[in-house]
């Protein structure tokens, strides 16, 4: 459908508003009760926004403890209502006020899995705490998430305070860094399933599809007791909303296009809950995204084009007592690596850094073709989840998942060579069981809790002509318990987790002999086997958290204070133990040590937040000491090229994973101010991260620089056609990272940079359709810049200016009612129903 | 049995056409009953061109036994250091120098030299150190060097000038003394149809400029030229 036709369609669906009445007539009131779909539970603390056609400004209110909200002094006429809550899908409806008392019932679709009444937690004041407990977190959902469609995971999250991107060398690839931790110290969960990929690789972006998520949440701190030892630095959760629980057809179609990199894509999702099979529902979704190479202000980053597509389906049954879901997701990704990354002599590397421009940049072109070097990935995820209500005991939730991560890396080789140079196959079976026990009343306290167990079997098959990481198999298991005690304005959380693992590693002959020769093999755990060697390492890790969520003031229920103390233990990853090879494109050799043991952190964090109707303010601070922090440091070598190691490509420094002691600390500030009577708002954040190597008494490498973001927004008045239209202008300032370890850096950190951004957007909503249109401009001053946490910074600049356009259409149709009921519902509103009282 | 099941599923995945991979769920179910897969999913497409050993063979022009000096890194890019032999030549002698590049990590050893010759227009071998030649102009030198081959020696010269490749050189030991000899093999594939191998590369290297392409080999040998 053409855009013009679409707009006409949206326009015609709206009735013309009546002329604004006199102020004297404005004595009506509107009252609503907000409940959850499925459970019918009232939802307290939900934000309700009311906008009137032709009137600037928004009336905001929150539901009380019974899920009720009331707004008075309203004129007769149509009003638009938007209902927002972190845990539920946004609802919007149109209500016709007649000047008297109007009552509406609004039912919100939950974004979380269904919970029975005995385990359901009372959310005090409505302000979060539901899933992230006493940890600091930030979520992206609704239209804020819609404005990021088409971006990779790291870029989608990069505007969150305290979250930055470790950018790789390929087009748009990167991995999220949470408060300075990435990869091995962060965990990604896709609908509760731990993502398993080759995430140790510094240029391996996580193989997950952010477009399949309806909410993205980042836990900015240790999530170890709930999620696992790897979550020491933080957790990224991608959550899709549950399948529809009422007979309906929900669909979403979206498309996006960008100027730099030039390209675009589209996504579609259909969910059907048929009326004849109550409780059953199916979702089918897919998306594709293709772009050509990125262009910097002065040259193209040759060969950074990419092609990604995703497909997924979920079939589910849901009832009060039992849920079952079977799903499958597939990701295919092909991404070129910038031709600017090349193997050079150490002298040339330094010259290239000093020149600030790739030596062959004049020949670079922005093409769609993806040549060598490139990465090609298939990622499969098949899963089965269930929820069983166990009477007075509580509820049992279970997930079985199988993932297969198939990664191929193609180097620049002579033409006679075909096929990839590195192939990784990572297969993971995981079972996750958790019992959410029924609420216990302990004096004046209510106690909720989860008892959980995990089992995970993983095997890795690596093939290449050179050594890098060995094949391994591991079995790991975990037991955990997180309990929450709540009363009045206090919520306490205590969690403990034990995690065990046995890792069996098989070393090829050359790998084994090389590691024995360089004295890096753990002689107690490793022995010769066949022509190579085999190692077996058991690990045991215990983590604990103690947290509190307080509402410090009775008069200020919008204010919360979260604090957490934690001690977390992390099991070393495969590369930290056994890496033995060249880092791609960097003039270094990397080696692990199989004697490395558990890394343990001791830390605390605290977040004070005020979430009022026109002001949101949050300040967070954290610090953690990491004992035996596994760090990648240069290691002097013996031999002909001492202190370097002789290779055919010249003498190279050897970097080894070595335990040290580290101290991390920092803070974030976030604010969002909506001027009460003016159509203006301003939002912003500041993030600071510090990392210190306590043994060498110098800063840690790869700690993100200080970052400041601010965006001002002008809200256009509601019109007959459009709603929530805005124009915005903003900027990001990233300081120069002055705290760097001189010995480890390959190049001086890049200077401060400022990126100017602007955007505009509007929604064209009818009762069943929402059309969202947005345009975003990035780096509009076409600033040449490099980022300290981007691997590209040693070789080339980052992207120049770009404009992106996004259009999405959500369409909901309820099924299973007589045509009279459907017509009646259509009058009532899209996701809610309205009862008029005269 | 568990491993067998898994590997056979994996092999099936690799062999399955792209479109059919969407039906993985069905495949997984069918794999569950399949336990007769082979033990390892090797598909032998890991052709590689690792160079772990480089041999410099100096054949005296006036006749006599050829002298061979090698660099060998028996664990490839593993953490163990490679070792180069000291080059020992006689003052006043002229030698035909031939280079061979090998991957000794495979059994039998693979000779990469022919692959380099076949792509002579995308490779350039440059010699520097204590020798004077196209890529090196030190104030004092122990050797003088001239290229003894051209791209057209290894096949039709299709692109640009007929430049040397550098598999063969003529070396004259001019002065007795000790120093070093650096051997660099550059891989210079075209970038978007634009040749990267140009006649000026040796002079650029001598002038201390950085060169395009990637470094496949960069070795430094100790060099001793003794009086006859």
Q: Tokens representing A40?
A: 């019918």
What is the ipTM score, two decimals? 0.81
Report, at the CATH architecture level, how domain A23-111+823-836 is classified.
Sandwich (2.60)
* Omega prior to A373 cis, within 30 of 0: yes
For domain B53-226, give the CATH number: 2.70.50
CA distance A151 to chain B (A): 23
> B155 at the A interface (CB within 8 A)?
no
User: Pick from A382, A640, A654: which is nearest to B84 by CB?
Assistant: A640
Query: Minimal CA–CA distance to A504: which of A531, A478, A529?
Result: A529
Is the CB of residue B128 less than 8 Å from the CB of residue B135?
yes
User: Pick from A326, A344, A511: which is nearest to B78 by CB?
Assistant: A511
Which residues of chain B does A307 touch, with a Cβ-Cβ cutoff of 8 Å?
Answer: none
In B, minimum Cα distance to A351 occurs at B210
Which residues of chain A does B48 touch, with a Cβ-Cβ cutoff of 8 Å?
Answer: 413, 417, 421, 464-466
Strands A174-178 and A163-167: antiparallel
In A, minimum Cα distance to B221 occurs at A640
Per-residue H/E/C for A424-461: EEEEEEEEEEEEEEEEEEECCEEEEEEEEEEEEEEEEE
Q: What are the strands, taking DSSP E only, across A588-705? A: 589-591, 599-611, 615-635, 645-647, 650-652, 654-674, 680-693, 698-699
CA distance B62 to chain A (A): 32
Domain ranges for chain A: 23-111+823-836, 137-703+739-750+785-800
Q: What is the DSSP string of A181-198?
A: EEGGGEEEEETTEEP-S-
B47–A461 C-beta distance less than 8 A = no
Which residues of chain A does B7 touch, with a Cβ-Cβ cutoff of 8 Å?
Answer: 461
B48–A648 C-beta distance less than 8 A = no
CA distance B128 to chain A (A): 13
Radius of gyration of chain B (CA): 24
In B, minimum Cα distance to A312 occurs at B22
A345–B218 C-beta distance less than 8 A = yes
- What pLDDT, on a 0 to 100 scale, did the predictor assign at position A746? 80
Is the CB of residue A837 less than 8 Å from the CB of residue A100?
yes
**What are A742-772's pLDDT values in tens digits?**
877 888 999 999 999 999 999 998 777 889 9
Q: Can you tell me the mean pLDDT for A59-63?
A: 86
B214–A344 C-beta distance less than 8 A = yes
Strands A306-318 and A322-336: antiparallel
Tens of pLDDT along chain B (228 residues)?
333 333 333 333 343 344 333 333 333 333 333 333 333 333 334 455 689 999 999 999 988 999 999 999 988 887 788 999 999 999 999 999 999 999 988 888 889 999 999 999 999 999 999 999 999 999 999 999 999 999 999 998 988 899 999 999 999 999 999 999 999 999 999 999 899 999 999 999 999 888 999 899 999 999 999 998
> B47 at the A interface (CB within 8 A)?
yes
**What are A617-662's pLDDT values in tens digits?**
999 999 999 999 999 888 888 888 888 889 888 888 888 999 999 9
Burial class of residue A12 (count of CB atoms within 10 Å of its CB; 0-12, 13-18, 19+): exposed
User: Pick from B10, B47, B77: which is nearest to A581 by CB?
Assistant: B77
Which residues of chain A does B45 touch, with a Cβ-Cβ cutoff of 8 Å?
Answer: 418-420, 423
A328–B83 C-beta distance less than 8 A = no
* pLDDT at position A2 over 60: no
A466–B48 C-beta distance less than 8 A = yes
In A, minimum Cα distance to B197 occurs at A360
pLDDT band at A417 (very low <50, low <70, confident <90, very high): confident
Mutation for testing the B interface, residue in A648, A653, A655, A657 having most B CBs under 10 Å: A648
The CA distance from A242 to B112, in Å, is: 57
B105–A465 C-beta distance less than 8 A = yes
Is the CB of residue A113 less than 8 Å from the CB of residue A323?
yes
User: Pick from A311, A511, A581: which is nearest to B22 by CB?
Assistant: A311
CA atoms lying within 13 Å on the CB side of residue B42: 7
> B207 at the A interface (CB within 8 A)?
no
Is the CB of residue A112 less than 8 Å from the CB of residue A188?
no
**What are A321-332's pLDDT values in tens digits?**
999 999 999 999
The CA distance from A789 to A786, in Å, is: 9
Q: How many CB atoms lie within 10 A of CB A610?
A: 14
* pLDDT at position A69 over 80: yes
Query: A6: helix, coil or strand?
Result: helix
DSSP letter at A716 equals P
CA distance B61 to chain A (A): 28
Q: Which residues pair with B90 in a beta bridge?
A: B226
B80–A514 C-beta distance less than 8 A = yes
> B41 at the A interface (CB within 8 A)?
yes
Q: Which stretch of DSSP H or E encloses residue B105?
A: none
Outline where A297-373 has alpha helix (H). Answer: 346-355
Mutation for testing the B interface, residue in A345, A513, A647 having most B CBs under 10 Å: A647
> B118 at the A interface (CB within 8 A)?
yes
Mutation for testing the A interface, residue in B19, B39, B75, B102 having most A CBs under 10 Å: B75
Q: Can you tell me the mean pLDDT for A285-300?
A: 96
How far does Cα A342 stand from its chain's mean position? 31
- CATH superfamily name and code, A137-703+739-750+785-800: TonB-dependent receptor, beta-barrel domain (2.40.170.20)
The CA distance from A456 to A718, in Å, is: 52
- What pLDDT, on a 0 to 100 scale, did the predictor assign at position A453? 97
Burial class of residue B137 (count of CB atoms within 10 Å of its CB; 0-12, 13-18, 19+): middle
Backbone angles phi, psi at B67, to 5 degrees: -110, 130
Q: Which residue has the tokens 């400004």?
A: A57
Sheet holding A163-167, edge to edge: A163-167, A174-178, A181-182
B103–A360 C-beta distance less than 8 A = no
- What pLDDT, on a 0 to 100 scale, did the predictor assign at position A120? 60
Q: Which residue has the higher pLDDT, A688 or A793?
A: A688
B83–A646 C-beta distance less than 8 A = yes
Query: Minimal CA–CA distance to A566: which of A220, A237, A181, A238?
Result: A220
CA distance A365 to chain B (A): 7
User: Pick from A342, A419, A581: which is nearest to B78 by CB?
Assistant: A581
Q: Can you tell me the mean pLDDT for A674-691?
A: 93
**What are A513-565's pLDDT values in tens digits?**
888 888 889 999 999 999 899 999 999 999 999 999 999 998 998 899 999 99
CA distance B63 to chain A (A): 31
**What are A100-134's pLDDT values in tens digits?**
889 999 988 887 777 766 666 544 333 444 455 67
* pLDDT at position A65 over 70: yes
- What pLDDT, on a 0 to 100 scale, did the predictor assign at position A347? 82
B191–A413 C-beta distance less than 8 A = no
Q: What is the pTM of this model?
A: 0.88
Q: Which residues pair with A426 in a beta bridge?
A: A405, A460
* pLDDT at position A829 over 50: no
A580–B191 C-beta distance less than 8 A = no
pLDDT band at A16 (very low <50, low <70, confident <90, very high): very low
B115–A648 C-beta distance less than 8 A = no
Which residues of chain B does A347 touch, with a Cβ-Cβ cutoff of 8 Å?
Answer: 210
Which residues of chain B does A409 touch, with a Cβ-Cβ cutoff of 8 Å?
Answer: none
Q: Tokens representing A601?
A: 């952190």
Is there a shared CATH topology between the A23-111+823-836 domain and the A137-703+739-750+785-800 domain?
A: no
User: Pick from A378, A463, A648: which is nearest to B71 by CB?
Assistant: A648
**What are A463-505's pLDDT values in tens digits?**
988 889 999 999 999 999 999 998 888 999 999 999 999 999 9
Query: Minimal CA–CA distance to A76: which of A31, A16, A32, A20?
Result: A20
């Amino acid at each position: 459908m053409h855009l013009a036709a679409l707009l006409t369609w949206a326009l015609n669906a709206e009735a013309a508003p009546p002329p604004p009445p006199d102020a004297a007539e404005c004595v009506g009131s509107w009252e609503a009760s907000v409940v959850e779909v499925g459970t019918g539970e009232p939802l307290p603390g939900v934000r309700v926004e009311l906008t009137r056609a032709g009137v600037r400004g928004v009336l905001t209110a929150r539901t009380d403890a019974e899920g009720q909200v009331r707004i008075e002094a309203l004129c007769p006429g149509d009003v638009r209502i938007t209902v927002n809550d972190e845990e539920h899908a946004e609802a919007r409806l149109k209500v016709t006020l007649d000047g008297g008392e109007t009552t509406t019932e609004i039912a919100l679709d939950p974004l979380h899995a269904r919970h029975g009444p005995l385990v359901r937690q009372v959310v005090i004041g409505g302000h979060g705490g539901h899933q992230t407990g006493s940890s600091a977190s930030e979520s992206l959902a609704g239209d804020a998430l819609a404005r990021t469609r088409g971006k990779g995971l790291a870029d989608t999250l990069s505007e969150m305070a305290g979250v930055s991107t470790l950018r790789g060398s390929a087009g748009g690839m990167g991995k999220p860094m949470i408060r300075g931790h990435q990869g091995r110290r962060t965990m990604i969960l896709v609908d509760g399933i731990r993502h398993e990929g080759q995430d140790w690789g510094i240029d391996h972006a996580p193989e997950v599809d952010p477009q399949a998520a309806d909410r993205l949440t980042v836990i900015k701190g240790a999530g170890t007791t709930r999620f696992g030892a790897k979550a020491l630095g933080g957790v990224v959760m991608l959550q899709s909303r549950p399948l529809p629980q009422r007979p309906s057809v929900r669909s979403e179609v979206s498309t996006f296009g960008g100027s730099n990199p030039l390209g675009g894509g589209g996504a579609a999702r259909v969910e059907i809950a048929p009326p004849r099979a109550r409780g059953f529902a199916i979702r089918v979704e897919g998306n594709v995204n293709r772009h050509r190479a990125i262009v910097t202000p002065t040259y193209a980053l040759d060969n950074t084009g990419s092609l990604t597509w995703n497909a997924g389906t979920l079939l589910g049954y849901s009832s009060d007592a039992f849920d079952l879901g079977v799903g499958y997701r597939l990701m295919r990704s092909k991404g070129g690596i910038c031709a600017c990354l090349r193997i050079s002599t150490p002298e040339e590397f330094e010259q290239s850094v000093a020149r600030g421009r790739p030596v062959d940049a004049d020949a670079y072109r922005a093409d769609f073709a993806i040549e060598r070097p490139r990465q090609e990935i298939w990622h499969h995820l098949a899963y089965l989840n269930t929820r069983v209500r166990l009477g007075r005991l509580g509820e049992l939730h279970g997930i079985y998942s199988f993932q297969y991560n198939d990664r191929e890396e193609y180097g620049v080789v002579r033409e006679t060579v075909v096929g990839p140079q590195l192939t990784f196959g990572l297969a993971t079976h995981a079972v996750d069981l958790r019992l959410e026990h029924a609420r216990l009343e302990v004096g004046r306290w209510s106690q909720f809790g989860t008892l959980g167990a995990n089992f995970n079997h993983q095997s890795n098959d690596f093939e290449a002509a050179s050594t890098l990481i060995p094949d391994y198999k591991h079995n790991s298991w975990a037991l955990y318990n997180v309990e929450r005690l709540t009363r009045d304005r206090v919520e306490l959380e205590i969690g403990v987790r034990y995690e065990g693992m046995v890792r069996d590693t098989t070393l090829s002959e050359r790998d084994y002999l090389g590691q024995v020769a360089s004295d890096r093999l753990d002689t107690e755990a490793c022995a010769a086997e066949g022509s190579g060697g085999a190692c077996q390492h058991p690990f045991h890790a215990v983590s604990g958290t103690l947290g509190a969520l307080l509402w410090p003031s009775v008069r200020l229920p919008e204010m919360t204070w979260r604090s957490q103390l934690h001690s977390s233990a992390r099991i070393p990853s495969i590369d930290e133990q056994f890496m033995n090879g060249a880092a791609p494109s960097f003039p270094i050799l990397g080696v692990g040590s199989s004697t490395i043991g558990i890394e343990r952190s001791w830390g605390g964090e605290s977040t004070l937040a005020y979430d009022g109707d026109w002001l949101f303010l949050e300040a967070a601070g954290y610090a953690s000491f990491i004992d035996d922090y596994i760090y990648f440091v240069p290691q002097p070598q013996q031999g002909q090229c001492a202190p370097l190691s002789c290779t055919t490509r010249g003498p190279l420094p050897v970097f080894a994973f070595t335990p040290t002691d580290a101290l991390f600390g920092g803070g974030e500030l976030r604010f969002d101010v909506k001027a009460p009577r003016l159509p203006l708002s301003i939002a912003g954040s500041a993030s600071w991260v510090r990392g210190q190597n306590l043994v060498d008494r110098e800063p840690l490498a790869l700690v993100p620089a200080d970052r400041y973001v601010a965006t001002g927004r002008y809200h256009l008045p509601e019109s007959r056609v459009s709603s929530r239209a805005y124009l915005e202008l903003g900027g990001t300032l990233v300081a120069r990272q002055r705290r760097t370890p001189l010995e480890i850096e390959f190049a001086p950190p890049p200077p401060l940079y400022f990126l100017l951004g602007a955007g505009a957007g509007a929604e064209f909503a009818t009762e069943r359709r929402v059309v969202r249109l947005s345009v975003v401009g990035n780096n509009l001053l076409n600033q040449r810049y490099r980022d300290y946490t981007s691997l590209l910074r040693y070789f080339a600049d980052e992207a120049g200016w770009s404009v992106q356009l996004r259009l999405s259409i959500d369409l909901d149709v309820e099924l299973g009612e007589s045509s009279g009921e459907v017509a009646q519902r259509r009058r009532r509103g899209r996701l809610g129903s309205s009862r008029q009282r005269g | 049995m568990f491993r067998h099941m898994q590997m056979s599923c994996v092999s099936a995945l690799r062999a399955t056409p792209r479109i059919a991979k969407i039906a993985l769920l069905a495949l997984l179910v069918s794999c569950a009953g399949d336990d007769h897969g082979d033990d390892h999913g090797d598909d032998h497409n890991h052709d590689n061109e690792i160079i772990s050993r480089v041999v410099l063979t100096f054949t005296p022009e006036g006749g006599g036994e050829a002298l061979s000096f090698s660099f060998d890194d028996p664990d490839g890019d593993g953490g163990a250091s490679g070792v180069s032999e000291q080059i020992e030549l006689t003052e006043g002698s002229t030698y035909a120098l031939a280079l061979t590049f090998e991957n000794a990590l495979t059994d039998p050893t693979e000779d990469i030299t022919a692959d380099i010759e076949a792509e002579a227009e995308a490779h350039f071998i440059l010699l520097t150190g204590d020798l004077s030649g196209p890529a090196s102009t030190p104030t004092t030198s122990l050797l003088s060097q001239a290229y003894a081959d051209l791209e057209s020696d290894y096949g039709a010269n299709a692109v640009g000038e007929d430049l040397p490749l550098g598999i063969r050189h003529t070396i004259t030991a001019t002065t007795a003394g000790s120093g070093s000899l650096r051997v660099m093999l550059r891989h210079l594939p075209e970038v978007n149809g634009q040749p990267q191998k140009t006649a000026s590369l040796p002079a650029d290297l001598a002038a201390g400029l950085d060169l395009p392409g990637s470094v496949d080999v960069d070795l430094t040998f100790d060099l001793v030229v003794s009086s006859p």
